[in-house]
Amino acid sequence: MHRLRQDRGRGPGCRAGRRGVRGTRAAARTEVFSPHSLEAAVQLLAEVKEPVRILAGGTDLMVEVETGRSELPGLVLDISRIRDLRFVDEGDEGAIHIGPLVTFADVRRSALLREKAPALWQAAGLVGGEQIRNAATLGGNIMNASPAADGIPPLLAAETHVVLTSSEGSRRIPLFSFFKGYRTTVAKPEELLTEIVLQPLAEGAHAYFRKVAPRRAQAISKVVFAGRIHVARDGAAAVLKTARLGIGAVAPHALRLFETERLLGAQVLTPRLIEDAVRTLRSEIAPIDDVRSTADYRRAVAGNMLRAFLMAGLTRSESGKAGF
């Protein structure tokens, strides 16, 4: 990444510097544009005829380049200086709006996210180590579209929409339909991710996040699961009003578990229903054997996570406690 930081003067079309990079895995000469405004960034994406890569924190992109999985093209658009893309706000409508340049360290510092998006807040604390959390952005986590990205399942459970912006305008897409396949999304090359909009945890709801990985830190997830449930008492019965579930590392891309949610919706939460839900989840996912784990292990662990979450919800509803 340090090679991208050499200043080589200024270029046209941007207020910021234009820098050249020479390196074995970069194009013969890579120009880096670092605009300070979203307008300049989308204008560049609209005007350039050659391939361009977007750089935010660089913690995925530069690993890709250094390990030879991809080459830097002749142009890199470094968006890290666009201050307007780094914010966490509560909208008038109650939704939470997050800029794509918000880092995982920013997420951890946000009292709003800790209270209203506790699964995302917890996930952020388990991403990489401190240096990675200081650089890695939530937008980069989404756009990299890794099936094992830790930030995505909590966002799926929070009914997140993403906003993509080009020089033509913006469009808003539910996160569950954003991923097309392994590391692919519906975003067009001329679009930037400019906003992440999620629903706050409802009053009285429970949230859950669990990552299973070989180590506690600096580890890629074998399974990563997040959920939100709202359990209401009806006399002696615990009625599951809503369930929102997201999971990663068990399919070509992170998934919202719609079938399992449907089975659980508006039902009395009993140990038997929980076992039915565990079976449904295990048939809804499509894990594979790879260097990190086996499909059987992932299927077993994913079901166990759901069971633990629902059992905790049942117990908490009996004790009258809400929250995380």
Ligand X SMILES: Cc1cc2nc3c(=O)[nH]c(=O)nc-3n(C[C@H](O)[C@H](O)[C@H](O)COP(=O)(O)OP(=O)(O)OC[C@H]3O[C@@H](n4cnc5c(N)ncnc54)[C@H](O)[C@@H]3O)c2cc1C
Task: Give least dist CB 93 to ligand X, A.
Answer: 23
For position 193 contacting ligand X by CB under 6 A, the verdict is yes
CA distances in angstroms from 25 to 74, 112, 122, 124, 276, listed in the order given: 11, 41, 36, 31, 50
Closer Cβ to ligand X, 94 or 189, answer by number: 189
Intra-chain end-to-end CA distance of the chain, in Å: 37
Task: Give least dist CB 209 to ligand X, A.
Answer: 12
DSSP state of 201: P
Closer Cβ to ligand X, 212 or 243, answer by number: 212
For position 249 contacting ligand X by CB under 6 A, the verdict is no
Say which amino acid occupies 202: A
Residue showing the smallest CB distance to ligand X in the complex: 140
Task: Give least dist CB 23 to ligand X, A.
Answer: 16
**Closest-CA residue to 307 (of 277, 287, 285, 282):** 277
For position 210 contacting ligand X by CB under 6 A, the verdict is no
For position 250 contacting ligand X by CB under 6 A, the verdict is no
**Cα–Cα distance, 121 to 165 (Å, whole number):** 26
Task: Give least dist CB 92 to ligand X, A.
Answer: 24
Task: Give least dist CB 151 to ligand X, A.
Answer: 6
- Which residues from 112-171 bind ligand X, rule CB under 6 A? 127-128, 132, 135-137, 139-141, 143-144, 149-151
Task: Give least dist CB 303 to ligand X, A.
Answer: 22
For position 218 contacting ligand X by CB under 6 A, the verdict is yes
Tokens encoding 44: 């560049």
Q: Three-class SS of residue 76?
A: strand
- Which residues from 61-90 bind ligand X, rule CB under 6 A? 61, 63, 79
Q: Please, how many CA atoms are within 13 Å of residue 182, restricted to the half-sphere of its CB?
A: 7
Using H for helix, E for strand and C for coil, what is the string for 141-190? Answer: HHHHCCCCCCCHHHHHHCCCEEEEEECCEEEEEEHHHCEEECCEECCCCC
Choose which of 100, 147, 154, 287 interacts with ligand X (CB under 6 A). Answer: 100
Which positions lie near ligand X, rule CB under 6 A? 53-61, 63, 79, 100, 127-128, 132, 135-137, 139-141, 143-144, 149-151, 192-193, 218
